[in-house]
Structures are given as structure tokens and as C-alpha cells.
Amino acid sequence: MSKKRKYEQAPSDIAEAIEQAEVIRDFLPPPDQLVLREETVRVTLNLNKKSVDFFKVKARENGVPY
């Protein structure tokens, strides 16, 4: 950052904290390096209707796609 910005519309305590803040270098690795991808295997299951309905209900309750 070569230019200093002046924050005039922020409340005074927040503006002061922003002005005194120190910029630090990003030290975290990119997301693709955080977790190694594992090999996946496709599996086919035969389930009865009652089991499938159970998993659909649980998926809906938890807000995840079935």
C-alpha cells in the first residue's frame, strides 16, 4: 500500500483502530494445499425404500442435498 487512506465516515474509535492497524503478509497456504485430495471410489448400493426415505428426511433436516 503506497497511499494512506483516511477513514472519515467511520466512528472515531474504529477509524483510529484502522489507522493504527498494521498490514501483515499472508502466511496461509492456498486452499488447495491445505487438504490433500484423496482418491475416490464409486460405489453402488441397493437399499430398500424405507432406508432411502430415512436418508432423504435426514438430508432435508440438515439442509444438505440428497
Domain residues for the domain of 49 are 40-65
Determine the Cα–Cα distance for residues 10 and 16; give it in Å rounded to an integer.
Answer: 9
User: Is 8 a member of any domain?
Assistant: no
Q: How confident is the model at residue 36 (pLDDT cuts 50, 70, 90)?
A: confident
Supply the pTM of this predicted model: 0.37
Q: Higher confidence at residue 57 or residue 20? A: 57
User: Is 58 a member of any domain?
Assistant: yes
Q: What's residue 8's pLDDT? A: 65
- Please, which contacts does 17-26 make with residues 24 or more away whose CB atoms are closer than 8 Å? none
User: Is 50 a member of any domain?
Assistant: yes
